[in-house]
Structure 1
């Protein structure tokens, strides 16, 4: 008798492993960018990034083009986890969902308290958690951290990414081109119809996704959001009576295909292109500027307080359960790791302060400083903290 078919149970594990390893590569890329930006190589570094390749400079191809694949990957992860994964039911969504909400609200408040006027547009910069960096730090702790906290952190970061996508779509779009938006909406409608009528081949979705990216680029809505819209239309249905490698749904196949290039090429390349801050050329007051402090403290204090307080409140009200075998100290250590806000925070910085190199540099200093301290303190606390119960033996 044939065994019942299930959704691939190892997908989350492979995702966590790829993201944690990719986080270490991202750390190296960010460190390299900082070194280059503060040496005589900085001139060549800037020249390469601003060299035109066709209609766009290299930096924009990375930020608007390659990062669309990152958003496509994030969108597919959100969809898969919401349908048949760790976020498939409301009880599973409750703890990471409420913690993510607190982790976005409190950092924004911290930033606005320090930036009430001209620079308030950057309020969303410290609201994001970098899943690659955070899981990369968590992976260094090995079995000291219960598996439930790894799942909690991954789910929280996924919901956090969804919030960041919504923020970008609503608050960081430029002047809109109605004809291009209408054309983009028509393409999305065709993609949704293809899903509805059971088209399971990937190439029609990818071809229309490329058209959608061009239309979004011209419309004034950030082009990378094309990746999210495309992800939501990729089918999550399985083939019947297909060979093993084709039994996976189109979404699973594309997600698996993108995992390695996104984690080890696209995100590190984005970090290399955007993390370079020429500290030596900045005025000393930039280190204590309102934007620098708002972003840095928003990540370090706002994230930890928002995530931990919301999680504890949800647990006390009976809305969610404490992660299995985890202590409150470990939960707070994980909340500290949520203050690592690298990739998405850098991305929002470019949208919040377009063309203002000084404000961008201040925000980047805050991101790097707040993320470094959050990671360091979170790692140190989790290294010495102990869970409430020993893990159950494996079967």
Structure 2
């Protein structure tokens, strides 16, 4: 494969090629998720489709802890040697920590589902939540381990392999979702698509990564050296999960119910590729920001963050503008009339997701600067504002909630820029 790609990379440049691979990665997974949600949305009853939407939201809730405690410290850890056996051994240590945490989180949320199911026998209003929790426990081990492998490939600058793995993810998720929609339409069968897709992508990644055997001493050292900042980052996930583009559906489901979660999931399906574009840029820029800070200090870090924000604004602005413009025909095409009349909701979510994407480069700066406490403060303020806004907006249905999401993301953008500037000045004074 390198024989085919090397001439292309020499022509367009390695940096630009990496971004193209990342866009291909997120494009494949993003389109696969649209296809899966479209097929399942057409074939499943509204309640079961709502369970699938809640499943994805709950998965990203626990994935936030996995990402904060392991993936982010691993991704932004810059080593002077840049590679070699020492680097691979350290990456292997992180791999096993990520694997263990993925299993623990999945078991915990599955147990929560069993508890809620038992409580639902006496409190029927709780019963609907048991299935989303159990479905999350089903899909999360494979999805979390694949996500760590994906980030590892980006860290060692093998975005080309990521794009190939994501193509396998696309094919497998689309195929399983089509089979389920045609022959066995149920939420549990539909969830298997995400399991199969993640395992297919992981199988292609492992020959390149070649993780070694578990080393208890190395794992203990990594925990000791990173537990303070990882703890702060993990704490930030609690408020972040309230307003994250992926997990906000959980709060909507809790406030209004599974039907609202299904309607929101349908509207979000059309805007989700914008978040995939943001993730593609973020996957490249977080390790790049860490390297720039290690090499050039604050000027290098600011340069990467500014370019990242501009790239996100251009990419997501173009896509979301087209979605807003053609919302009606897109809804009719994707869901075949199942969720007609969501044009307003889709347009409002497009605005909210555009603002959400612009906030991530500021968070990259805070993560690289190890400003976990500052991030916790920002996310807590934004979460409280989001809960209040959604509670008020829920009286006006999904449209009101979409407006609430857009307003709170605008406020979050202003707050993050203020905190980002303050932390940057403090770090520069420390260098002086």
TM-score, structure 2 length as denominator? 0.27
Higher helix share: 2
Q: Which has the higher contact order (CA 8 A, sep 6+)?
A: 1
